[in-house]
A and B are shown apart, each in its own frame.
Chain A
Amino acid sequence: MSGWWFVGSLGEALFFAAFFMIGVVCFTTIVGWQFLSPTTQVVRIGYGFWLLTTVSAAFVVMGAVGFWYRVLKVATSDEHREVIAKRGLVPRPKTTLYRQLPPPMVPLLTPFTESPGAKLAFRLPGEWPGTGALISIGLFAMAWNAMIAVFAVFAVYGFWRGEIRLRLLILLVPGIYIGLKAAQIFFRTYVRAIGIGSTTVEIDDLPLIPGNTYKLLMVQYGRLVIKKLSIRLVCEEESTYHFGTDVRTEREVVRQQNILDQGRSRIDWGRPLELECQVSIPSDAMHSFQSLHNAVHWKIIVEGEANRWPSYSRSFPVVVYPRVHSKLTSQPS
């Protein structure tokens, strides 16, 4: 990939969004015209009609799929897909016996070990707090603008026949405004997401055992100047409780340690920032715990400040086993 990938990525998303909108407008015009005014129709039902209908429906599908593929690709790098394809070549974890049997009330390890790393054994799954909002805004913008496009076709059709549907026009004005605003918010959020680039964290073994030290590899992709980047190990308690009719969840960081601090660095596309470090789990650390209303979570948090971008924080959960269980299950048979 050459050139400024950021503009390319945004351009592709915009291209597919336009593709989708053109498809919706064409499909609505062709089908709507056919059913609303069969006498003035230009394309009669036949080969031409079905061809145009199919092509415009294909535009809608290709636009929607292409748009979301481009948007969701932000979270998965090409390298990662490549590594998964070569699963057999990645380093194997040090201990593999009985991993499927977690100790009681400790989260399952499987979701954390499903993804192999490029250099170390496991690539940790990331929690992206903004992804849900990005997808929600995108879906809303897409659905709303498709609806407005359909109404717009009806309005233009009426105008073409000499009928001015005032109520429809009055509805269209705020509708178009909301559609444009939703699209603007979506693309602004999207630009932020793709502008900073994805972050990956790999670790040489799982589960983590109190008292042990592990190798960690953090890779920051993108094209930007990082002013400051830090990696922390955090233990967080989580409690859910009822307050009146509400269900509330409270979280508190009870333990944290700095793993690495990195100063100013320049990242280019194709030359990501790779930082290797070691993380030690305190020997008196509480293991990961998950019950119905309470939990103890461990996570690796990457926080960065970049030029011209808002500061960001990305979280990578890990599982800490109690030391005794780890010792027993790690012994080779």
Chain B
Amino acid sequence: MIRLLGLQPTYMPHDQLDFEYRVSNVPQNAIAAVEVSVVWLTEGKGTEDLGVHFFQRLTGASLAATDWSVPQQVGVPLPDSPLSYEGRLLKISWCVRVRFYLNDGTELVAQQPFYLGTITREV
């Protein structure tokens, strides 16, 4: 589960994006790796493009040192661009994405969208 700590899911460039994530009902020793990222992606008529603004991968000692009974907090300063945008052929959206890789090969993915900038949602 991912939870944005801001009051609104809308952020301005250079704002700090604070969020927390946690996993429940999964034993700690079943987790092989965790990836946390803040990404933008395009949707629409064109082939999808993806840009990674922040990426963190936890494995080995750093993973073992993590206490999964409490939410993990992350703070990321947001960039100038690309701003969230909803056009006719193209949509640019931002999200926080967390992937849990389990020892049995299972992959759990959660993502939480947010809005960067204040450009009108509909053109």
Contacts and interface: CB of A to CB of B under 8 A. Distances in A.
Interface stretch (A19-27, A212-220, A292-300): A292-300
Give the residue among B42, B81, B92, B118 with the most A Cβ atoms within 10 A.
Answer: B81
Contacts of B89: 237-239, 250-252, 254, 294
A284 B80 contact: no
B42 A286 contact: no
B24 interface: no
Interface residues of A, number: 30
A291 interface: yes
Interface residues of B, number: 28
B46 A241 contact: yes
A286 B116 CA distance: 12
Contacts of B45: 239, 241, 250
Consensus secondary structure, chain B interface: loop
Nearest to B123: A254
Contacts of A81: none
Contact of B88 (A106, A242, A252, A293): A252
Given A252-B88, A255-B123, A322 B42 contact: no
B81 A292 contact: no
Contacts of A292: 47, 49
Interface string B83-123: 10101111010000000000000000000000001111001
Nearest to B83: A322
Interface string B15-45: 0000000000000000000000000001011
The 6 A-B pairs with the shortest beta carbon distances in the complex, nearest first, are A239-B46, A103-B80, A325-B80, A291-B49, A293-B47, A103-B81
Interface of A: 103-106, 237-242, 250-252, 254-255, 284-287, 289, 291-294, 296, 321-322, 324-325, 328
Interface of B: 12-14, 42, 44-49, 51, 53, 79-83, 85, 87-90, 92, 117-120, 123
